[in-house]
Amino acid sequence: MEITVQWIRTSWTKESRGGEPAARRNAAPVGFTLPHAEASAHVIRMHESDGFDPYDSWEDLRKVDVQLREADGKLRVLPRVQPLFGLPPRPRRPPAVRLVPGQWVRWQLNYRFSSAAGIRGWSYWLDTFNIAYGPVGADVFLSAPTVFVDEQGPLR
């Protein structure tokens, strides 16, 4: 069965925590039209230094931080929490999502990091995984997902 993965990583620093920069960050899309490519993940990166303009590329599915497992006509989806030193702590994670053909999930996780010596201050990520099971159109991730998992925690 066909599996379509779109991985969006938005990254910023404390400069985009409030005001106009935060408004630009919050207006960044959480889904994009899919260019045609098979057996790989559509990866989009947006960073405050580029004004949150999207840059896309393709990655091997095995390099995407999400577990995908097909069994009994369903796709089991569970993003990995990487890296382990990021905050917020996630002592209890939501269970994996099981999709049937024709369904898709949007799963969001956020992170906060500090430099090793605390010199450079904090940086932040928001990972959005859009994953569809079965054949889909190019605009699938522009619509509302079948399942939405918001695993965002407080970042302070």
Q: What is the pLDDT of residue 38?
A: 66
Q: Are strands 40-47 and 3-13 parallel, antiparallel or unpaired?
A: parallel
10-residue stretch averages of pLDDT, the chain, 156 residues long? 93 83 87 82 94 92 92 94 68 91 96 69 89 94 96 77
For position 81, what pLDDT does the model report? 83
Question: What 8-state DSSP symbol labels residue 107?
Answer: E
Sheet holding 147-151, edge to edge: 55-60, 40-47, 3-13, 122-133, 104-114, 147-151
- pLDDT, position 136: 92
Q: What pLDDT does 83 receive? A: 60
* Distances in whole angstroms, Cα of residue 75 to Cα of each of 10, 34, 72, 96: 26, 20, 8, 10
pLDDT for the residue 43:
95
Please say whether the beta carbons of 79 and 109 come within 8 A: yes
pLDDT of 154 reads 72
Q: How high is the pLDDT of residue 109? A: 93
